[in-house]
């Protein structure tokens, strides 16, 4: 998976304002309270993320981040236009009304308009960011005409000779007619996906023509192919198909020139020679549109690891194109999470100890284990396709041959994940699903650390551990390989969470973080993850099968000793752990068995384990969980407002510091971006 997205199924967001719980205080270190919620409307909550440790960065690092962040914001219009060709005209009209409508701004209809505006801003266009369906405005075309009438006409995106009435006549069906431009991306079977998708990667061509066009260009024997079609629009006019490149002087030229302007500044203060060379190639690529240069850039970028400050910037992900070729523009600027990186360094440095002391059969332990240093970063700015809906983790580049030859970078976005977790804990979720106050208290105080440690152990040592018996076919486990592999990594983490070694290494102060992790894991595997599954369906996703299998297996094994108990209270189901030490040894036993299955390629045992414990759902419990979730009224989708980075200059105009301001008004940020980063028509 290239990107772990904050999707409807993953996000468990709430609307409760968190002010000063224990966790919050710990994280704030000097800041008394931080309000993580910026806005809530329809199916969306908009959060804020913090920039921990930003003040401690060097001036050079801050300056570098600042320039890259400006570059990250300059491509916003590109993404809007890629989503749908009339999005920019619509946005400018919405901005004019939002900013200047002089009628009754308190009326229900105007509020409905503002909600619509917020949805469009969130989706970077008039189609839902996740479902791709066109939004249905909560107001009438007549009302829309009246508010446009009473807004500042000089701000409307009128073309030469066009009147506000002409603009309205044009926009009304686009916004209100459910039958036109209904879906941004249509991948239904049997349709011409290009003709029926409203996005803006192709004009006047059929799917067949596009496929033929690229078939004529691509050499299947090429072992290092460029990413054909990545940065262009295909246009057919007068019977001729042409590829219009996204580049300086080409399509999106003015926005790309602004990106280049800030990348040039960043290049001047690049933190290493390699990074300088990298930016040189990226700028060159933006000037020429040459995909070979893009590959050269990616080879350099992929190999340039261990940095304090890094970024992505370009036409990268192809989810928006039904044919999977054209990439949307996006950018993220990030800096290393020093604390988390220390943590992963400690774990990685002790990888051999963990391996040698695991409950796994010694024959299936690795003699020499090298932990993988997962990199944990904090986001400083999100742009394009990463804003406001942000990924939680990123693994790039996408080009397969570059991944094989030059490697790839995999990062988790710590401050984004934290904001999401902290809000989720304040959402009433724990009050609904945790057994008692002690469990809630543990989750609030230790949940973030527990979560982070689990992820670190899973990634750095869990997946890296163990070996196959001689002669075992590595593909023997077939379709059960992924959930079993996730189980191995999870069990490794769970088993060691409660080991005295964790305290010895100063990774946690007491067992409470481990207990919080056990509570959360069992509650999730047994109950709460079912909220992501439609009624009547089985569990399919590998990570979910893994969690279900672990929770149910240890539950069954511990039944006699009542290690985990299911209890009914007020017609609701709860799980309660009665014996944490025994649970730990059950995790150890299961780890031993799962490693055996993998090492010996025991397909039958693997299948039995997954099918028996990981796939089927108790229907009554499923319905109950879905109902309890629905009552919590959590927003299924979430995204983020960016902080504002403000340079401080001396009398000569030289930057001497960069300050962070946290924006708490989502609509205001959208209006500000519309003013400051509008380069296209
Ligand atoms: Zn994993």
374 CA → ligand 1 middle, Å:
12
392 CA → ligand 1 middle, Å:
14
Nearest to 180 by CA among 198, 165, 192: 198
Nearest to 45 by CA among 17, 19, 14: 14
Q: What is the pLDDT of residue 12?
A: 30
674 CA → ligand 1 middle, Å:
40
Report how many helices (DSSP H) and strands (DSSP E) the chain contains, helices first: 26, 16
446 CA → ligand 1 middle, Å:
22
457 CA → ligand 1 middle, Å:
10
257 CA → ligand 1 middle, Å:
40
- The mean pLDDT value for 545-563 works out to 97
130 CA → ligand 1 middle, Å:
24
- The mean pLDDT value for 514-536 works out to 93
543 CA → ligand 1 middle, Å:
8
528 CA → ligand 1 middle, Å:
20
546 CA → ligand 1 middle, Å:
10
Q: What is the pLDDT of residue 425?
A: 75
Helices (H), 269-290: 273-288
More confident residue, 280 or 4: 280
Q: What is the pLDDT of residue 167?
A: 97
430 CA → ligand 1 middle, Å:
25
- The mean pLDDT value for 278-295 works out to 98
Q: What is the pLDDT of residue 374?
A: 65
Tokens of 128: 């839902």
501 CA → ligand 1 middle, Å:
22
Q: Please state, in angstroms and rounded to a whole number, the distance separating the CA atoms of residues 228 and 217.
A: 8
> Cis link prior to 397 (omega < 30° from 0)?
yes
SS3 82: helix
Q: What is the pLDDT of residue 633?
A: 79
340 CA → ligand 1 middle, Å:
18
Q: What is the pLDDT of residue 143?
A: 98
- The mean pLDDT value for 282-286 works out to 98
Q: What is the pLDDT of residue 17?
A: 28
Q: Which residue has the tokens 């990685």?
A: 348
Residue 371 confidence class, pLDDT cut points 50, 70, 90: low
522 CA → ligand 1 middle, Å:
17
551 CA → ligand 1 middle, Å:
17
539 CA → ligand 1 middle, Å:
17
Ion ligand 1 contact residues with beta carbon within 5 A: 486, 489
Instruction: Say whether pLDDT at 522 is over 50.
Output: yes
Instruction: Say whether pLDDT at 216 is over 90.
Output: yes
Tokens of 376: 């944990």
459 CA → ligand 1 middle, Å:
6
603 CA → ligand 1 middle, Å:
20
487 CA → ligand 1 middle, Å:
8
Instruction: Say whether pLDDT at 410 is over 90.
Output: no
Nearest to 5 by CA among 392, 383, 270: 392
491 CA → ligand 1 middle, Å:
11
412 CA → ligand 1 middle, Å:
13
544 CA → ligand 1 middle, Å:
11
481 CA → ligand 1 middle, Å:
12
Nearest to 564 by CA among 523, 610, 609, 592: 523
518 CA → ligand 1 middle, Å:
18
305 CA → ligand 1 middle, Å:
21
Tokens of 548: 């279900």
483 CA → ligand 1 middle, Å:
9
Per-residue pLDDT tens over the stretch 127-146: 999 889 999 999 999 999 99
Q: Are 256 and 247 in contact (CB under 8 A)?
A: yes
275 CA → ligand 1 middle, Å:
30
477 CA → ligand 1 middle, Å:
16
Q: What is the pLDDT of residue 171?
A: 98
542 CA → ligand 1 middle, Å:
10
Kindly state the DSSP code that residue 54 receives in the 8-state scheme.
G
Phi-psi region of 212 (alpha: psi -120 to 50; beta: other; left: phi over 0): alpha
332 CA → ligand 1 middle, Å:
23
486 CA → ligand 1 middle, Å:
5
464 CA → ligand 1 middle, Å:
10
- The mean pLDDT value for 364-391 works out to 89
478 CA → ligand 1 middle, Å:
17
Average pLDDT across the chain, whole number: 91
458 CA → ligand 1 middle, Å:
6
* Percent of the chain predicted with pLDDT > 70: 94
623 CA → ligand 1 middle, Å:
29
403 CA → ligand 1 middle, Å:
19
* Phi, psi (rounded to 5 degrees) for 310: -140, 180
* Percent of the chain predicted with pLDDT > 90: 75
Per-residue pLDDT tens over the stretch 59-106: 999 999 999 999 999 999 999 999 999 999 999 999 999 999 999 999
SS3 245: strand
Q: Please state, in angstroms and rounded to a whole number, the distance separating the CA atoms of residues 277 and 545.
A: 44
Q: What is the pLDDT of residue 612?
A: 97
Angle between helices 437-457 and 481-497 (to 10 degrees): 120
594 CA → ligand 1 middle, Å:
14
488 CA → ligand 1 middle, Å:
9
489 CA → ligand 1 middle, Å:
6
Instruction: Say whether pLDDT at 14 is over 80.
Output: no
550 CA → ligand 1 middle, Å:
14
498 CA → ligand 1 middle, Å:
20
- The mean pLDDT value for 144-153 works out to 98
462 CA → ligand 1 middle, Å:
8
Instruction: Say whether pLDDT at 381 is over 70.
Output: yes
Q: Please write down the long-range contacts of 243-250, taking CB distance under 8 Å and 24 or more positions apart.
A: 243/213, 245/289, 246/78, 246/289, 246/315, 246/329, 247/286, 247/287, 247/288, 247/289, 248/286, 248/287, 250/289
Instruction: Say whether pLDDT at 31 is over 60.
Output: no
463 CA → ligand 1 middle, Å:
7
490 CA → ligand 1 middle, Å:
7
637 CA → ligand 1 middle, Å:
23
485 CA → ligand 1 middle, Å:
7
Instruction: Say whether pLDDT at 26 is over 50.
Output: no
52 CA → ligand 1 middle, Å:
26
Domain boundaries, given as residue ranges, for the chain: 77-176
46 CA → ligand 1 middle, Å:
28
482 CA → ligand 1 middle, Å:
9
More confident residue, 115 or 342: 115
Instruction: Say whether pLDDT at 18 is over 60.
Output: no
206 CA → ligand 1 middle, Å:
40
Q: What is the pLDDT of residue 229?
A: 95
């Amino acid at each position: 998976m290239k990107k772990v997205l904050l999707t409807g199924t993953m996000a468990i967001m709430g609307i409760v304002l968190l002010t000063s719980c224990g966790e919050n205080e710990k994280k704030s270190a000097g800041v008394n309270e931080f309000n993580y919620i910026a806005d809530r409307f329809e199916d969306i909550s908009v959060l804020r993320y913090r920039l921990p440790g930003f003040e401690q960065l060097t001036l050079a690092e801050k300056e570098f981040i600042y320039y890259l962040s400006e570059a990250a914001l300059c491509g916003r219009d590109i993404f809007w236009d890629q989503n749908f060709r009339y999005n920019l005209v619509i946005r400018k009209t919405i901005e004019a009304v939002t900013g200047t409508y002089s009628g009754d701004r308190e009326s229900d209809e105007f509020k409905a308009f503002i909600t619509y505006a917020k949805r469009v801003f969130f989706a970077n266009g008039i189609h839902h960011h996740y479902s791709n369906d066109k939004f249905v405005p909560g107001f009438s075309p007549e009302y829309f005409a009246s508010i446009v009438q009473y807004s500042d006409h000089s701000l409307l995106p009128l073309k030469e000779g066009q009147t506000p009435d002409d603009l309205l006549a044009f926009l009304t069906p686009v916004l209100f007619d459910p039958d036109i431009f209904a879906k941004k991306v249509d991948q239904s079977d049997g349709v011409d996906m290009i003709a029926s998708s409203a996005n803006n990667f192709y004009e006047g061509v059929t799917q067949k023509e596009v496929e033929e066009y690229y078939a004529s260009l691509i050499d299947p024997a090429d072992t290092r192919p460029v990413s054909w079609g990545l940065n262009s629009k295909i246009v057919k006019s007068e019977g001729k198909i042409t590829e219009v490149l996204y580049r300086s002087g080409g399509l999106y030229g003015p926005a790309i020139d602004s990106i280049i302007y800030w990348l040039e500044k960043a290049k001047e203060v690049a933190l290493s020679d390699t990074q300088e060379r990298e930016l040189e190639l990226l700028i060159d690529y933006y000037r020429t549109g040459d995909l070979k240069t893009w590959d050269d850039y990616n080879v350099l970028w992929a190999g340039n690891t261990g940095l304090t400050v890094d970024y992505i910037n370009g036409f990268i992900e192809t989810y928006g194109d039904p044919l999977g070729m054209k990439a949307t523009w996006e950018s993220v600027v990030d800096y290393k999470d020093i604390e988390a990186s220390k943590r992963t360094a400690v774990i990685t440095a002790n990888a051999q100890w963990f391996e040698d002391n695991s409950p796994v059969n010694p024959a299936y332990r690795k003699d020499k284990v090298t932990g993988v240093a997962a990199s944990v970063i904090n986001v400083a700015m999100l742009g394009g396709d990463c804003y406001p809906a942000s990924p939680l983790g990123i693994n790039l580049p996408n080009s397969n041959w570059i991944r094989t030859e030059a490697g790839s970078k995999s990062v988790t976005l710590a401050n984004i994940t934290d904001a999401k977790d902290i809000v989720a804990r304040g959402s009433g979720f724990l009050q609904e699903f945790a057994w008692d106050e002690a469990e809630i208290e543990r989750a609030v105080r230790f949940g973030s650390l527990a979560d982070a440690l689990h992820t670190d152990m899973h990634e750095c040592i869990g997946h890296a551990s163990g070996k196959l018996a001689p002669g075992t076919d590595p593909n023997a486990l077939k379709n059960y390989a992924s959930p079993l592999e996730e189980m191995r990594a999870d069990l490794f983490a769970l088993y060691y969470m409660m080991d005295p070694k964790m305290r010895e290494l100063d990774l946690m102060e007491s067992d409470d973080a481990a207990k919080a992790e056990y509570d959360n894991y069992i509650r999730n595997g047994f109950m709460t993850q079912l909220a992501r599954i439609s009624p009547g369906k089985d569990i399919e996703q590998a990570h979910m099968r893994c969690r279900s299998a672990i929770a149910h297996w240890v539950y069954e094994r511990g039944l006699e000793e009542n290690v985990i108990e299911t209890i009914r209270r007020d017609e609701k189901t709860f799980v309660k752990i009665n014996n944490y030490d025994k649970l730990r040894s059950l995790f150890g036993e299961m780890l031993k068995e799962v490693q055996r299955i993998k090492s010996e390629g025991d397909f039958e045992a693997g299948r039995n384990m997954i099918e028996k414990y990981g796939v089927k759902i108790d229907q009554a419990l499923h319905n109950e969980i879905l109902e309890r979730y629905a009552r919590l009224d959590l927003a299924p989708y979430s995204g983020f407002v960016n902080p504002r980075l403000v340079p401080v200059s001396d009398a000569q105009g030289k930057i001497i510091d960069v300050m962070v301001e946290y924006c708490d008004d989502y609509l205001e940020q959208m209006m500000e971006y519309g003013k400051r980063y509008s380069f296209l028509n």
